[in-house]
Amino acid sequence: MDRTSLVFRNGSDPNVADGWNDQGQPQPHEKRSKPRAAGSMNTTISDLSKFTAALVRGDGLSAAARAEITRPVLHIPTASLFPLFLPDAPTAQQHKDLYAGLGVVLFDGPQGHGFFKGGHDGQTANTMVCVEKSQNCVLILSNDVRAEAGFPELVRFILGDTGVPFEWEYGDHAGKS
């Protein structure tokens, strides 16, 4: 991942793009006020797709390390990701197979075990969805936060019904994939 960095280069990074906010207004790429591991990373679709492919295959990892990344560590009992620190949803409303792994969220769906990770700020949005059995993944990076609303449909079009709980990540407007 030679074009990926966690170091802000004060506007001289050729790998960054300005973005578009939810009102369709251009937003310059600016330094984060507080460093955040994933949120401070600048990368390219080429670098991140190589990482995603290696992660789903386990390339460069021992079998034990690969298994640890996708081991269900903590059940996620909330009805949605945001706002943060929600109380547990009633048991009947929880996703029984939604777990935090090591840097990814784990789920079980019609195609089997999978994992995903998404993110957004005021101007960008991204998602990564992988199905372990088939080792198929979708990676979407956008410099327009409004694109996030289309991610569930794009993932469903490319991978079919995976069972990713997009309504948990994006809210009820996202539907299910």
Per-residue pLDDT tens for 61-89?
A: 999 999 999 999 999 999 998 888 899 99
Quick one: pLDDT at residue 175? 47
* Three-state secondary structure string covering 48-96: HHHHHHHHHHCCCCCHHHHHHHCCCCEECCCCCCCCCCCCCCCHHHCCC
Backbone angles phi, psi at 170, to 5 degrees: -110, -10
Residue in the block written with tokens 């539907």: 175
H helix or E strand, kind and range, residue 115: strand 112-120
More confident position, 42 or 107: 107
**Which numeric CATH code is attached to 43-174?**
3.40.710.10
